[in-house]
Chains A and B, each alone.
Chain A
Amino acid sequence: MSAEAASNPPLFELRGISKEFPGVKALEDVSFEIRAGEVHMLVGENGAGKSTLMKILCGNYRADRGAFFHCGEPVAINGPGDARKFGIAVIFQEFTLVPYLDIAQNIFLGREFRGRLPGLVSQRGIHAAGKRVLDSIGFDIDPYTPVHRLGVAQQQMVEIAKALSQDARILVMDEPTAALSDRETELLFAMIARLKKNGVAIVYISHRLAEVFALGDRITVLRDGHKVASMLPAETTPNALVTFMVGRSVDMTYGRPSRSQAGEVVLEVKDVAAASGIAGINLTVHAGEIVGLSGLVGSGRTEVARAIFGADRISAGEIRLFGKRIAGTTQDSAHRGMALIPEDRKAQGLTLARSVADNLVLAGLRKLFPSGIFHPRKAMQTARAMIGKLRIATPSAHRAVGMLSGGNQQKVVIGKWLSAQARFFIFDEPTRGIDVGAKAEIFRLIDNLVHQGAAVLMISSEQAEIVRVCDRAYVMRKGRIVGELAGQRLTEANIVALGAQP
């Protein structure tokens, strides 16, 4: 940032913003400035007020108190239309794209060009204009491609193209890398650099500290609705930032205490292949051990987990759990004490509209009530015990799971399988979308599991997590296991080297 930029008024500024919801002070006297050509990182735990602040910026919520300034001039934002007028656009995590329209149709949805005949859309016009917008962000793709064929990263690019085609000068990105692979993340960062050069201002919400420092020109930390710090990356360190975010110092290393010798073999996978694209998979997991499964997104990690759990049929090889060959159905696996804690908790792991208690006992119904008759009181006792044991932060056992934070939802999923007396756990991206404070707690939970003799297979895209948490790790590439790392050799560099070879 040059001295000149510092003296000019910011492109947009929020001053003294307060917002209260019934019973909750979401924001209290928060100020935030956005400068052209700058990436402003907005960090904080879930519930800190980041989303509320951004919704006020883009006009979805109205602030109770506070003022807005555009290039130093006081302005009002009373709705999304006002925000758009100032060139503010939000790239939400949930995309606003229509799957069965093509890229150009999506970019110009609601702003179609008139065709030669009245009432018709100039398809050629929007596709030519769409191509220009895509070119301007360096996204080389046919604008006629239907959006449902695109991956998450490409859809995100389309969202960004859509915003820019509306002359957006301020882009708000809410955890844009949450669903991207490393390679895609690099492409996104390159594009952000290009946008910065063109004078676009970016507000970037992130949980990943590495990104905050790699990308940020300025960092603002929110906690419990207050701005607790605003600084330049050079003025702080990751540890200091985490302390700001959680208000206490968190052991960032989540280093595991040294573990006793691994026990009996719990899981044995021999030469397994499946139609999902994996082949020649060999791995073992012992009791009291956390084994990592690493590799790029799409390298087949999730497919291995699904095959082990019996969600996908295997076409070759065998899988043994506690020495016995599994039948290859999810029911059989669950019955024998295997638990899969999926990546997409909302879609696969939880019944969001039901209560915490219902979700906790769901997987264990057969073990809890062998006679087949449900006893509500016994179910509630079991659920309450689990809430206490896992320290699930919920106002009551009757609260719908959908209302809890990501970290607490994750605990409910774990608790669900504990009540089913699972002894082998597969975690698929256990910390995705979870804030720093809750991450450490999830790892502590996993650690407790193995201390009690359980075995854990953990899939993670973050190599740092694998290195810090796991005893051993397998690295996958293109549907195959290309290496096993343990002890001194289990380092981020080795994982990357194995996983990225051509």
Chain B
Amino acid sequence: MSDAAAATTALPRVPGVAFALIVLCTGFAVTSAGFVTPTNIANILVQSTILLLLALPMTLIIMTEGLDLSMGAVLTLASIALAIVIISTGSFALALLAAVAVGLCFGFANGLLVSVLDIPPFIATLGTLGIAQGLSLLATDGQSVVGIPRSIEGIYSGALVGVPLPIVIATLAYGATHVLLYQTRFGAYICALGGNREALRVAGISVRGMLILVYLFAGLMAGFAALLMTARLNSAHPTAGIGMEFDAIAAVAVGGTSFERGNGWLFGTLLGVLAVGVLRNGLNLLAVPSSAQVASIGALVIIALFIDGLRREP
């Protein structure tokens, strides 16, 4: 009956992703000697930060019943812009500004396409994915951008009172997104965009404006993610971010955010990002090629959602 159904849908979001994370950690701890070491655990956390920066806004977008396929390509283009600007001007501030500007431009474009032109998000962001990817190749002629001042590496490898900088940045981003989603009007409107747009219209709030803001937020975060990625590689590659949107969507889905009715869970996304990070790290330790890693992430999504689905049935 309806009461029982309501109770069971609320409970099982934790188990799906938490279960997956526990099984993965246990599995790798048993099979791979190097897995449970302080260095490796720190590695997993640091390596997960870029994905988290993308998965956070992806959660919000999916909560609006949207999708952003362009994230990986925008990340790449922002990284290239950052590299080119820092090489030509030497100014770190200008370079970060360029990366964020690229992200915001594409976020705005995605928002306009989805809201004003009413193009389905899947199609709209597939289009901007192509454009961003094409621009990356055009700007670099398909080559890596190298010769970035080594000082930028410090952003990825440095630490603040013992905590690696990427983790500091990711924690700030998580905290900010949490406040945005749960403590501001905007967060409530995101729930309404996916849950009931009519409720927003009745309340006199611009549905289009809110949608544009959500995609702008994604662009902003892609800009910051580009900073971490460029610092990590100490260069920019026109293919570096390919497929990152896949990992981000996978993390959000594994984390229990629903693609319908504005039912999202930010902490679940954090766990989802860790699950993807643990999986990639563990498979690396076992020397599994990266193509097989992609397949295993696909399997992870299906298994996690299957577990959730099992628990939802009466």
Task: Report A's interface with B, CB cutoff 8 A.
Answer: 80-81, 94-101, 105-106, 109-112, 115, 119-121, 123, 146, 148-149, 151, 275-277, 298
Contact = CB atoms under 8 A, between A and B. Distances in A.
B185 interface: yes
Q: Which 8 A-B pairs have the closest CB atoms?
A: A110-B203, A98-B195, A96-B199, A98-B192, A149-B6, A96-B202, A100-B263, A99-B195
A81 B6 contact: no
Contacts of A111: 203
Interface string B197-208: 011101111000
B216 to A, nearest CB: 16
B2 interface: yes
Interface in B180-194: 183-185, 188-189, 191-192, 194
B179 interface: yes
Interface string B159-198: 0000000000000000000010001110011011011101
Given A98-B199, A99-B195, A110-B203, A149 B10 contact: yes
B204 A81 contact: yes
A106 B188 CA distance: 9
Given A275-B314, A277-B1, A115 B183 contact: yes
Which of the listed residues A94, A100, A119, A298 has the most CB atoms from chain B within 10 Å of its own CB? A100
A120 B200 contact: no
Contacts of B262: 98-100
Contacts of B196: 95-99
Contact of B195 (A101, A115, A119): A101
Contacts of A81: 204
Contact of A99 (B200, B203, B263): B263
A119 B188 CA distance: 13
B312 interface: no
A469 B176 CA distance: 62
A295 to B, nearest CB: 13
Given A109-B199, A110-B200, A98 B191 contact: yes
Given A96-B198, A110-B200, A110-B204, A101 B188 contact: yes
Contact of B261 (A110, A120, A123, A148): A148
Contacts of B179: 120
A100 B204 contact: no
A315 to B, nearest CB: 11
A109 B198 contact: no
B264 interface: yes
A95 B196 CA distance: 9
Contacts of B183: 115, 120-121, 123
Interface of B: 1-2, 6, 9-10, 179, 183-185, 188-189, 191-192, 194-196, 198-200, 202-205, 261-264, 314
Contact of B1 (A105, A115, A119, A276): A276
20 contacts: A95-B196, A96-B199, A97-B196, A97-B199, A98-B195, A98-B262, A99-B261, A100-B261, A100-B263, A101-B191, A101-B195, A109-B192, A109-B205, A110-B185, A112-B188, A120-B184, A121-B184, A148-B261, A275-B314, A277-B1
Contacts of B203: 109-111
B205 A94 contact: no
B257 to A, nearest CB: 10
A449 to B, nearest CB: 31
A120 B182 CA distance: 9
A109 B204 contact: no
B272 to A, nearest CB: 18
A97 B262 CA distance: 12
B304 to A, nearest CB: 20
B199 A106 contact: yes
A101 B1 contact: no
A496 B204 CA distance: 45
A95 B202 CA distance: 11
Nearest to B192: A98
A51 B262 CA distance: 29
B193 to A, nearest CB: 9
Nearest to B205: A110
A121 B188 contact: yes
A153 B149 CA distance: 64
A100 B195 contact: yes
Nearest to B187: A121
Given A94-B198, A98-B191, A99-B261, 4 more contacts: A105-B188, A120-B183, A121-B188, A275-B314
B189 to A, nearest CB: 8
Contacts of B198: 94, 96
Contacts of B185: 110, 112, 121
A453 to B, nearest CB: 36
A101 B181 CA distance: 11
A262 B192 CA distance: 54
A105 B191 CA distance: 11
A80 B194 CA distance: 23
Contacts of B263: 99-100, 148
Which of the listed residues B184, B198, B199 has the most CB atoms from chain A within 10 Å of its own CB? B199
Contacts of B184: 119-121
Contacts of B189: 109
Nearest to B202: A96
A68 to B, nearest CB: 21
B6 to A, nearest CB: 5
Contact of B192 (A101, A277, A298): A101
B263 to A, nearest CB: 5
A148 B6 CA distance: 8
Contacts of A119: 184
Contacts of B199: 96-98, 106, 109
